Structure 1
């Protein structure tokens, strides 16, 4: 299994990256929803709600996969 410079596997890094971006975006969606509602654009507000849910689901999936890999050789090790 390939490992990056950190000693952790590339797949762990990839999952953490996807999870981070999904969670970070979640902070912005509430504002996007408010903006759309303030503009009386209900369909667009609903679109942002859908995107927010998809990112939340994506972050949860990453968490499950990271838990699955934790402590396995596939996760790599920070100890060098």
Structure 2
């Protein structure tokens, strides 16, 4: 397992990065959905909720991979 400049393997760094961005995106997409709802655009609000669910699933999968690589149990 080669360590990049961070002291962690590149794969671990990459997974953490994707997990972080998926969680961050999920947070802001909730606001986008509320904005669309406030303006009466339910179809667009549902689109943002779908994107939020996809990011949530992406973050969860990254977390499972990180747990697998670390050899510990998920919380």
Under TM normalisation by the shorter chain, which class is it? 0.7 to 0.9
Residue in 1 that maps onto 2:47? 47
Structure 1 consecutive aligned stretches of length 4 or more whose deviation exceeds 2 Å: none
Structure 1 residue 38: deviation in Å? Answer: 1.2
Q: What is the aligned-residue RMSD (CA, Å)? A: 1.1
Aligned residue pairs total 71
Matched, 1:65 2:62: no
Matched, 1:38 2:38: yes
**Comparing both chains, which one has the higher relative contact order based on Cα–Cα distances under 8 Å and sequence gaps of 6 or more?**
1
User: For the residues of structure 2 that align with 1:24 and 1:30, how far apart are their CA atoms?
Assistant: 10
Higher Rg:
1
Structure 1 residue 39: deviation in Å? Answer: 1.3
Can you give the 5+ residue segments of structure 2 that lack an aligned partner in the other structure?
Answer: none
User: For the residues of structure 1 that align with 2:17 and 2:10, how far apart are their CA atoms?
Assistant: 10
Structure 1 residue 52: deviation in Å? Answer: 0.2
1:46 match: secondary structure:
helix
Deviation per CA, 1:2-36, whole angstroms, max 9, x where unpaired? 32012210000000000000111122112101111
Within-5 A mapping of 1:68-79 = 68-71=68-71
User: For the residues of structure 2 that align with 1:60 and 1:68, how far apart are their CA atoms?
Assistant: 12
